[in-house]
Structure 1
């Protein structure tokens, strides 16, 4: 068949026509060739009116890029994705000062956070749908990076808190694409046994900004004013934009096959007819169709619960550490460093460890069958104990006269546990939805952000009526109970996926 295909391609060149290659599920003799029944066949259709460049098929070889090219692209998209949490975390030390400058009530601290998170969630869903409808990763970057630059300028020169809210909303819409498109590019380039490590490295840099963000925010606010924060973000975004223009290739793989959930969101991926990107209809809510898979819905809800408490802890520290220990805004930024280290280490080790679990399973497998994505979940159990235990202890000690170093250590351990789980479950979601890697990442991050935004609004009344001790106890118990969700996915995930695919 291989030789016949080459002969057909030669004939095609002489006729100045283009060909469409379509994968089908079952062997076929449509080319009048003898094919191995174990292998897939292909259908060749001639279409003289089709003007698409056949070189587009080269986009489907992103996994065979050189290792140095992969590492360069991974580094750039990871730094780009890091702009997202940077724009969020860098403002925490300045929130109280901003409200004071605009003479706004303290509730606006929570409102500013909630607005950013809500727009971030909606933006991620829309950009993921755009990317996979029009089969592009790079173009999304080229649209969003200028939007980020414009929003930074608006926030920097705003005369009132209302325009600041508008600017933060636009900023969230622009930065929302950077994580989900970065996740899609990582999935495009790396195989199953490498993906955990790649995502661990991706989220390592992503989490590094949780360390730098509050530190920079504190110093900028104290020495240059909070408006300087947005000029810094504009410069950072401009440098990344130039790097993307120069070095990031288009990696979208239109023929990605799911390693698990065989059905595509828009229909079966094994369908014989595929629309060209220009003829597809854009539906910004299309990624939500992935929630029809119980394993996706439950996994997304599970990790959203855990990640929410990382942001809640940031809010609690921003408001209470200055009161409890009398620290300045610049010192407050330094206190976020252990938290960032915990996030970084948890992400990197979680990714590495989950790949190790996959490789061990593969080495023990006697047949050549594929590894089920649920195997990766088997690497999270120790972290499911660490995280809730630390949060409960944190709450009970906070109302006592304890040295601040104790809370910083607990904070770091709690974040280590959460990001250990985060890295593994986010990779599992991509493993089980390979052809929709950006969409499943968007659904995951969008749901997480909506939950975080809702909690951030209710955090203030919860803290007032329950106190920090009982509020963190409630959070810890919620984590413990939510572990039942991921246990269900571990045991039933495969059967749920197979049932849905039928």
Structure 2
């Protein structure tokens, strides 16, 4: 939502630094790199509900702080903190899906879970463009605070704990109280001999272990960082293409993001329609492995590359505006297939610690989403839209051989390098 209000911010705060204009958008995503390191393991130790509740309330506070910022430094700092505290859903959501759904039904559940993060980059700029044009950039944050407050109210009062560890621990506590038998403990706790502080330390270190010591997790994190960086580079540079290249106003430029959203929905529909069906067939054959979530990544990078080529060269040639929008649609299809396949694979591979596995992936992914957009302005100035996007498309294609190898040999690599979590 905020991407289209940046030009107003630059005017209000009397700065023309292009790096700052990109940073004030992407710094929020950098917060996603730090928040999950804490929210994911804390949710596995203390429960999902309390982490969602605390983080959502703090997110609202720091979003309001963004709305009342008086200089660029304040806005950047509060944007970063809002990202840190707003990242709990990204960090914990996969764990909640694992808590609630068996493997053969997770594809549809994942699609519903990712519907918000996937549609957000398309719907947000549409709303943000018109809000910024009508009321100014500060009202973007007021709208976010109001919507966040409504969602948080529903979450706090209607959401229930889903973590098996926490549910069993509470049940054992009730039984100890009602029976007077202090020896009653849950089976999960009976298997643990560590102290509370040791359990907390192990939990906080777990995402880093998954990120650095698991070859599978590390490779997927690197690939996801680049793909996520591409997405945010497009989000931050679309105004450059459509406002400067096509002469669109801020509000109409926001509407062009719908092309990306349509592509995301197509990818989501394909994943929902086919993933669980394929998993059930593999289970019936007795051959199901987590790698069965990965076939989609084999076509995702070529689709994104095709979208980048079409988007870049039609924008360079100033063809009818629908050309770049179709390119964004193709990119959206590939992006969604890639992200859902990766999330599904990590959840199926690290079921009990799915939240930590997704947090490990989110760390590098968010670093890519925050830093790659900073290169967008200088890249397009040097290479223009055609060759600039072509370079990105060739890099996306470069990941395809590694992803094919991961699909083919992922199981043997995963079993060869087990982690004690």
Which TM-score applies when normalising by structure 2? 0.88
Alignment counterpart, residue 398 of structure 1, candidates 308, 315, 335: 315
2:219 pairs with 1:298: yes
Q: What SS does the corresponding residue of 1:435 show, helix, strand or coil? A: coil
- Unpaired runs of 5+ residues, structure 1, are 1-89, 257-268
Aligned residue runs from structure 1 range 9-24, under 5 A: none
The answer to whether the Cα contact below 8 Å between 1:351 and 1:424 also exists between their aligned partners in 2 is no
Aligned-residue offset at 1:92 = 0.8
Q: 1:409 to 1:435 in 2, by over 3 A?
A: same
Aligned counterpart in structure 2 of residue 359 of structure 1, from 259, 280, 290: 280
CA 1:501–1:271: 2 relative to 1, 3 Å: farther
Q: Matches of 1:381 and 1:120 in 2, distance apart?
A: 27
**Aligned partners of 1:408 and 1:496: how far apart in 2?**
39
- Tell me whether 1:312 sits opposite 2:233 in the alignment: yes
Q: How does 1:257-272 map to 2 (within 5 A)?
A: 272=191
Give 1:216 deviation, angstroms.
1.1
User: Match for 1:473 among 390, 412, 415?
Assistant: 390
Q: Pick from 424, 428, 436: which aligns with 2:353? A: 436
For 1:458, the equivalent position in structure 2 comes to 375
Q: 1:414 aligns with which of 326, 331, 351?
A: 331
> After the TM superposition, which of the residue ranges 333-342 and 247-256 deviates more from structure 2?
247-256
1:152 and 1:233 in contact (8 A); partners too: yes
Distance in 2 (CA, whole Å) between partners of 1:460 and 1:284 is 37
CA distance, structure 1, for counterparts of residue 342 and residue 293 of structure 2: 8
169, 172, 179: which one pairs with 2:80?
Answer: 169
Q: What TM-score do you get using the length of structure 1 for normalisation?
A: 0.75
Native 8 Å contact 1:117 1:172 kept in 2: yes
The 5 Å alignment of 1:167-246 reads: 167-246=78-157
Taking the aligned partners of 2:206 and 2:95, their CA distance within structure 1 comes to: 16
Distance 2:312 2:362 in 1: 27
| Aligned equivalent of 2:305 | 388
Aligned counterparts of 1:494 and 1:375: Cα–Cα separation in 2: 10
- Tell me if the contact between 2:29 and 2:367 (Cα under 8 Å) persists in the aligned partners: yes
Q: Which residue of 1 aligns with 2:242?
A: 321
2:193 matched to 1:281? no
C-alpha distance in 1, partners of 2:368/2:271? 23
CA contact (8 A) 1:200 1:349 kept: no
- Tell me the matched-pair count: 396
Secondary structure of the corresponding residue to residue 254 of structure 1 = helix
Cα distance in structure 1, aligned partners of 2:83 and 2:74? 14
1:373 maps onto 2:298 in alignment: no
Structure 2 residue runs without a partner (length 5+): 168-187
Residue-by-residue CA offset, 1:116-160 (whole Å, 9 max, x unaligned): 12222111222112222x241111012112211211221111111
Larger radius of gyration: 1
Q: Distance in 2 between matches of 1:192 and 1:123?
A: 27
Residue of structure 2 in register with 1:346 after alignment? 267
Kept after mapping to 1: 8 A contact 2:297/2:403: no
Give the distance between the partners of 1:214 and 1:463, measured in 2 at CA: 21
Shift of 1:285: 4.2
Greater relative contact order (CA < 8 Å, ≥ 6 in sequence): 2
Residues in 2 aligned to 1:348 and 1:270: alpha-carbon distance in whole angstroms: 40
1:449 matched residue in structure 2: 366
Report the counterpart of residue 32 of structure 1 in structure 2. none
Post-superposition CA distance 1:155-189 (Å, at most 9, x none): 11111111111211121111011222122111110
| Shift, 1:270, TM fit | 12
**8 Å CA contact 1:308, 1:451 repeated in 2:** yes
Map of 1:89-168 to 2, 5 A cutoff?
Answer: 90-105=1-16, 106-132=18-44, 134-168=45-79
Q: Which moved more, 1:392-401 or 1:241-250?
A: 392-401
Q: Distance in 2 between matches of 1:284 and 1:255?
A: 17
Which whole-Å CA distance do the structure 2 matches of 1:359 and 1:326 have between them?
50
Superposed CA deviations along residues 311-358 of structure 1, whole A, max 9, x for unmatched, are: 111122122211111111111111111211212331242243222221
What is the match of residue 251 of structure 2?
A: 330
Task: Tell me the distance in 2 between the aligned counterparts of 1:486 and 1:271.
Answer: 40
Q: What is the CA-CA distance between 1:275 and the residue it aligns to? A: 4.0
